[in-house]
Chains A and B, each alone.
Chain A
């Protein structure tokens, strides 16, 4: 009975939707997208309770349940700029400001490892001009960015850096060397990174060892693979929490092996608008989840 009633109701709704869409297809789809986005925004409305204690730590969160490794997919800079009628480069600049604020918050709240997904190996084939403007924005920001070493942040870059322009590769090497001794927070920037490529290169490393007789195929274990992945720069390669902004409900070839047991949090907010309040919401959601790792 219940299935019948819900089928009939859905049928009526879809007939209405189908009828309207067939007359004005393009406008209808845009309209329905906006309605769905509005509904999800309203249901995700954060109370914006950013009350902080005397030590700068939010009152709603519990220190002992804070994640050790947070990964973020910084998505939505271009769409944010389009909605505000700005250019893409202004979108990337706003995204970079949000990035610096975010790193500052992570240091303040003692989150030891933060991974940020800047762009993937697939993004390289996007219109060249948008990539050039993003690199230009990130380079000019990084040159004037003397704050990060002072915060005690250690920076590592993972991904297929050989495909980046030589000047950027050198900047990366310099930044990694300058910040080597940072102890407060380890910032892992994923540039031109693909999760499948990471697994393949780890397996190639292992296969080479097998070929030269250092390993038998039976010796291949999970810790061995993790030692070969690009996230070997840290001893906690698996994020506890993965945040993706701008409403896309996908991992998009970011950490695949590493996010086997990662809690995921999706928000429709665009990255330039991802502020302290939004981060508190994400952490609250994380702290309320029961993690069993399949055992219970």
Chain B
């Protein structure tokens, strides 16, 4: 009798969880459908090609909700996955995120270590078959001075880039060990080294026929040893166009050395919400503002 009752209660419990699962998946399907309709309406206007995110506020969120230290970053990662899903459903081709700055290395060593561990774990998660990058055909790029990273993180990053190199529908650039000033200086160094090599080659070969014209061309450039195109060619972010919208959460309105060169004409959006709390409504608001300014901005650009 008791066994029957126990069996009955277990089966009732399993039916209840099953119906709750069904309810959840039904809600998820309805939500997904509503989102599709919403994005269909938004797509009538111009959709940004490239959105960049500065994911600020993870630690403040953990503090506000009395969570342990690393929990804020983990919840931040969940929020990032949702935002990526919304962006790719909306056909935003390029997304760039500011994961870790070179300045952040100056934080407490324990914090830096745990962040690096989390980053490595999440990169490995991205390579898995069922991850969002494979679902939406996203190619992953790691942008920054990767030599500054630990061996394990660097190897994981290289593996992720190789694993997703065949994806072509969208691009995700993850800025890690990155600052914009470091990127520009690196571009200048590489341009100088490239031109220096060419210069030395000319010097050692003398003036053989094939090189005469080239020598003259370089000489004609005069003082302009390097130009704008040389710098742009050597930037880490050369594979992506400039961002249309730059979103920074937690209400701070500063760039913190992120994409300084590239965001010369990006729309800056700084909602006061903390990064783990960011939702669909913030993305939609950013895009509506972008669409509102787009015609005025295009008109100004045509005058240039």
Residues in A lying within 8 Å of B, measured CB to CB: 1-4, 6-8, 10-11, 14-15, 18, 29, 32-33, 36, 122, 125-127, 195-197, 199-200, 203-204, 206-208, 210-211, 217-218, 220-222, 225, 248-253, 256-257, 259-266, 289, 293-296
Contact = CB atoms under 8 A, between A and B. Distances in A.
A211 B292 contact: no
Contact of B188 (A122, A206, A261): A206
16 contacts: A2-B279, A14-B38, A18-B41, A18-B44, A196-B264, A200-B231, A204-B223, A210-B196, A211-B192, A211-B199, A217-B193, A220-B188, A220-B192, A257-B260, A264-B253, A265-B253
A83 to B, nearest CB: 15
A203 B231 contact: yes
A146 B277 CA distance: 54
A-B pairs, top 8 by smallest CB distance, nearest first, are: A294-B103, A253-B264, A207-B225, A260-B257, A7-B34, A264-B253, A4-B31, A217-B189
A196 B261 contact: yes
Given A127-B303, A211-B195, A251-B263, A200 B227 contact: yes
Nearest to B35: A7
Given A3-B279, A196-B228, A218 B189 contact: yes
Contacts of A10: 38, 280-281, 284
Interface stretch (B14-22, B167-175, B266-274): B266-274
A78 to B, nearest CB: 11
Contact of B255 (A32, A207, A260): A260
Interface in B244-289: 252-257, 260-261, 263-269, 279-281, 284, 289
Given A122-B304, A249-B267, 20 more contacts: A2-B279, A4-B27, A4-B34, A14-B41, A18-B41, A33-B292, A125-B303, A125-B304, A199-B184, A203-B184, A217-B193, A220-B188, A220-B189, A225-B181, A256-B261, A257-B180, A261-B257, A294-B106, A294-B256, A295-B104
Interface in B210-242: 223-228, 231
A8 B36 CA distance: 11
Contacts of A122: 304
Q: Is chain A's interface secondary structure helix, strand, loop, or mixed overall?
A: helix
B191 interface: yes
Contacts of A196: 228, 261, 264
Contacts of A293: 103, 256
A203 B188 contact: yes
A154 B227 CA distance: 32
B147 interface: no
Interface of B: 27, 30-31, 34-35, 37-38, 41-42, 44, 101-104, 106-107, 179-181, 184-185, 188-189, 191-193, 195-196, 199, 223-228, 231, 252-257, 260-261, 263-269, 279-281, 284, 289, 292-293, 295, 303-304
Contacts of B253: 263-266
Contacts of B289: 249
A259 B103 CA distance: 15
Contacts of A206: 188, 192
Contacts of B223: 204, 208
Contacts of A207: 188, 191-192, 195, 225-226
Nearest to A211: B225
A200 B264 CA distance: 14
A7 B280 contact: yes
A259 B260 contact: yes
Given A6-B280, A211-B199, A294-B104, A259 B303 contact: no
